[in-house]
Chains A and B, each alone.
Chain A
Amino acid sequence: MIAATPPTEIKKNFFNQKQGLASWLLTYDHKRIAILYLLGVTFFFAIGGIFAALIRLELATPAGDLVDSNTYNKFFTMHGIIMVFLFLIPSIPAVFGNFLIPLMIGAKDVAFPRLNLLSWYIYMIGGLFIITVLLMGGVDTGWTFYTPFSTSYSNGYVVAAGMGIFIAGFSSILTGLNFIVTIHRMRAPGLTWFRLPLFIWAHYATSMIQVLGTPVIAVTLFLLVLERGLHIGFFDPAYGGDPVLFQHMFWFYSHPAVYIMILPSMGVVTEIITTFSSKKPFGYTFIAFSSVAIAVFGFIVWGHHLFVSGQSAYAGMVFSVLSYIVAIPSAIKVFNWTATMYKGAVRLTTPMLYALGFIGLFTIGGLTGLFLASLGMDVHLTDTYFVVAHFHYVMVGGAIMGFLGGIHYWWPKIFGKMYNEGWSKISAVIIFIGFNLTFFPQFLLGYMGMPRRYHVYPPEFQVLNVLSSAGASVLAIGYLIPFCYLLYSLKYGPDAPPNPWGATTLEWKTQSPPITQNFEVTPVVTQEAYTYTTEEVVHVG
C-alpha cells in the first residue's frame, strides 16, 4: 500500500514495521485491528446493502412480482440483522474507536490488546454464523425475533441466527470493556477527564451501553434458542409465558443499542466541527455530559417500542414521558454544534459536509422520534413506514453520515494518503440527496398508512415508492464513489502531512500513518483540548 511513494524515503509506520498475512492476523496493534474491523464492517455493509437494494426493487411496483412474501420476509430480516448487528454496532467504535482512542489519549495501545484481537475474531465468527444462515436460506422473523413466531412458527434458521448475534454480542462487550479500562487507566500524564477530546467522552458513554446492555440481549437470545431448540418454555404462551416479557428484554438492549450507533457518530461530528470551525466546541462540559446523559436516559425509555404490544397502559404513559427526556441531551448537542460554528472560520471540506449533513438529518430523525414517543400518535404510526423512515434518518442519516465523515476526516491519518477533494465533495452531496430522496417519501407513506414488512401495497402508494426506490439507487451510487477514490488514493494519492486539517487532538501530533507504538515519546498534556491559538503539547524526554 505504501510502496508507491516514489523517490522519498519510506518512513517507518505501523503498516511496514511488520509484514505478511500472519503479522496482520496475529496482530495486537490496535491500529491494525481497527483496519481488520474496517474490512469486516465494509464487507457486511455491502451484503446488507444488497438486501436493501432487493427490498427497494420489489417495492418499485405495487404487485409482488419479484419475490413472494416469504422471500421478502427474509430480505428485510437479513438486511436488518446484518446492518444492525454486524455493521452499525461495530462500525464507528470498533474501527475509529479502536484506532483513535489510544492515539487521542497518548497511549501505546488499548489496555488489553489480546482481548482486542479476540473480539475481532469473535465478531467474524458471529458474522460467519449469519452468512451461513444466509446461504442456507435465511431467517424470516424480522431482526427483532419476536416470540412466539420466532420460537414456534418461523421456518427460518432462527437458532443459528440467534447464536450468531449472541456471539457477535460478546465482541461488542469486549470492545466496550477494553475502552472503559483504557480511558480510565491509560491516559497520558496531564490528560485529565476534562482535557479529553469529546470523541473520547462519546466512546466512554457508548462503552457503558455496550457493557451494561449487551449481556441482556445475550441472555434473551440464549433463552430464545433454548426455547426453540429444546422446547423449554420461557416465553411460550402455552405454559403461560409472556411474549411481552421477551419484548421488554429485547428492547432493554436494543433501544440503547441505537445510542451505541449514534453516540460515536456524535463524537466524530464534534471533532469534525471544531476542527473545521477552528474554534473550541461551544460548551465542552455540556457536550461531554450530554453523551453520558444519553447513555443513561437511553436505558429508561425502551417501553416506547411496546405501546401496542399489550404492556400496561400506565407503563405506556410513563415510557412516553420518559422518552421525551432523551430529546434534551440530544438537542443540547445540536445547539452546541451550531453555536460552535457561529463566528468560526468554517471550512467546507468533505468531512465537514458530512458533519453538516449529520446535523440536519439527525435533527429530522430525532424530531420525528418525538412523534413516535407520544403514545396516541404512535398507535396510529406503529409498524408503518413512518417508523422505518424515522429510524433510517437516525441510523443511516446519523450513524452512517458520521461513519463516512470519520473515514474522510481520519483517512489521511490512518493510511497517510490524501484523497480527491472534488470527487469526495460530489459524492457527499449525492449521498445527501439520495438519502433524502429514499427516506423522506417513506414518512409520507407511513403517515398515509402504508405498513412496513409487506411486499405488496395498494397502487396509490406507487409514486412515493418509486421515488424512494429511485433515491435508493442514487444512494447506492453515492456509496460506490468513495469506495473508488479512496482505494485510488491508497496507491496514487499524495502523502498526507501529520496534521492536514489543523486539528488539535493528540492523534495529529504523531506522523501519518503512526508508528506501531503511536508516539516516539509519551506525550505530556498541559492544557485543555481544542486550544487553537497556541497549539502546544509539550513532549518531554
Chain B
Amino acid sequence: MPNHEKSAEHHVVPKRIYFGVFFALVVLTWVTTYVSTIDLGRWNIFVALAIAIFKASLVALFFMHVFYSARLTKMIVTAAIFWLTLLLFITMADFWTRGWMGVPGR
C-alpha cells in the first residue's frame, strides 16, 4: 500500500524525556500561577498565554510524539492551529476595529 509515506513509526521515546517534560510543565504551571499575582497591566494576557502555548507545545511535541511523527501528522497539527487562528483573529479583527470609525453603531 502507499509505501511512500510511513507514519506512526515505532519510536520508543526514552523515559527521561517524559520526566523532563513533566518537570518543565509543573514548574511552568507554578510560575504562571505566581506571575498572575503580579499586575503586568496589558501584558498579563500575553505572558499567561505565552506560557500556556509553550506548555501545550511541550505536551503535543513529546507526550503526543508530534516531534517524532510523520510529516502528515505535523501537517494535520499545523492545519488545526492555522484554522483556529483564522477563526480567532479574523473575528477578533471585527471587535478590535469596531470603535475606529467613531460613529456609534459602526
- A interface, CB within 8 angstroms of B: 184-187, 189, 208, 212, 216, 244-245, 248-249, 252, 299-300, 303, 306, 310-315, 318
Kindly state the separation between the CA atoms of A303 and B91 in the bound complex, as whole angstroms. Answer: 9
Cβ contact within 8 Å between A313 and B106: yes
Chain B nearest CB, measured from A249 CB (Å): 8
Within 8 A of A (CB), among B75-106: 79, 83, 86-87, 90-91, 93-98, 100-101, 105-106
| Nearest-neighbor residue (CB-CB) of B93 within chain A | A315
Cβ contact within 8 Å between B79 and A189: no
Among B2, B5, B72, the most chain A Cβ lie within 10 Å of the Cβ of: B2
Q: Which residues of chain B come closer than 8 Å to A318, judged between CB atoms?
A: 93
Q: Which residues of chain A come closer than 8 Å to B94, judged between CB atoms?
A: 244, 248, 303, 306, 311-312, 315
Known contacts A248-B94, A299-B86, A315-B94; is-contact A189 B1 (Cβ 8 Å): yes
Q: Which residues of chain A come closer than 8 Å to B91, judged between CB atoms?
A: 245, 248-249, 252
Cβ contact within 8 Å between B87 and A252: yes
Cβ contact within 8 Å between B79 and A303: no
- B interface, CB within 8 angstroms of A: 1-3, 5, 72, 79, 83, 86-87, 90-91, 93-98, 100-101, 105-106
| Nearest-neighbor residue (CB-CB) of B96 within chain A | A312
Cβ contact within 8 Å between B72 and A184: yes
Known contacts A212-B79, A312-B101, then 20 further A-B pairs from the complex at CB < 8 Å, ordered by chain A residue:
A184-B2, A185-B1, A185-B2, A186-B1, A189-B2, A216-B87, A244-B94, A249-B91, A299-B83, A299-B86, A300-B90, A306-B94, A310-B106, A311-B94, A311-B98, A312-B95, A312-B100, A313-B106, A314-B100, A315-B94
Chain B nearest CB, measured from A204 CB (Å): 13
B interface secondary structure, majority: helix
Cβ contact within 8 Å between B2 and A313: no
Kindly state the separation between the CA atoms of A184 and B70 in the bound complex, as whole angstroms. Answer: 13
Chain A nearest CB, measured from B64 CB (Å): 18
Cβ contact within 8 Å between A314 and B79: no
Cβ contact within 8 Å between B2 and A312: no
Kindly state the separation between the CA atoms of A184 and B91 in the bound complex, as whole angstroms. Answer: 32
Kindly state the separation between the CA atoms of A176 and B51 in the bound complex, as whole angstroms. Answer: 34
Known contacts A216-B87, A299-B83; is-contact A314 B1 (Cβ 8 Å): no
Q: Which residues of chain B come closer than 8 Å to A303, judged between CB atoms?
A: 90, 94
Q: Which residues of chain A come closer than 8 Å to B97, judged between CB atoms?
A: 312-315
| Nearest-neighbor residue (CB-CB) of B86 within chain A | A299
Query: Which 7 A-B residue pairs are closest in the complex by CB-CB distance?
Result: A315-B94, A312-B97, A314-B97, A312-B98, A248-B91, A311-B94, A212-B83
Chain B nearest CB, measured from A14 CB (Å): 22
Q: Which residues of chain A come closer than 8 Å to B83, judged between CB atoms?
A: 212, 299
Kindly state the separation between the CA atoms of A186 and B1 in the bound complex, as whole angstroms. Answer: 7
Chain B nearest CB, measured from A300 CB (Å): 6
What are 9 of the A-B contact pairs (CB < 8 Å)? Answer: A185-B2, A187-B1, A189-B3, A303-B90, A306-B94, A310-B106, A311-B98, A312-B100, A318-B93
Q: Which residues of chain A come closer than 8 Å to B5, judged between CB atoms?
A: 184
Q: Which residues of chain B come closer than 8 Å to A306, judged between CB atoms?
A: 94
Kindly state the separation between the CA atoms of A306 and B93 in the bound complex, as whole angstroms. Answer: 14
| Nearest-neighbor residue (CB-CB) of B87 within chain A | A252
Cβ contact within 8 Å between B2 and A187: yes
Cβ contact within 8 Å between A310 and B86: no
Chain B nearest CB, measured from A518 CB (Å): 15
Q: Which residues of chain A come closer than 8 Å to B79, judged between CB atoms?
A: 208, 212
Q: Which residues of chain B come closer than 8 Å to A315, judged between CB atoms?
A: 93-94, 97
Q: Which residues of chain A come closer than 8 Å to B86, judged between CB atoms?
A: 299-300
Q: Which residues of chain B come closer than 8 Å to A311, judged between CB atoms?
A: 94, 98
Kindly state the separation between the CA atoms of A252 and B5 in the bound complex, as whole angstroms. Answer: 33
Which listed residue (B93, B95, B101) contacts A313, Cβ 8 A? B101
Chain B nearest CB, measured from A72 CB (Å): 30
Kindly state the separation between the CA atoms of A189 and B1 in the bound complex, as whole angstroms. Answer: 6
Kindly state the separation between the CA atoms of A383 and B100 in the bound complex, as whole angstroms. Answer: 27
Kindly state the separation between the CA atoms of A306 and B106 in the bound complex, as whole angstroms. Answer: 12
| Nearest-neighbor residue (CB-CB) of A310 within chain B | B105
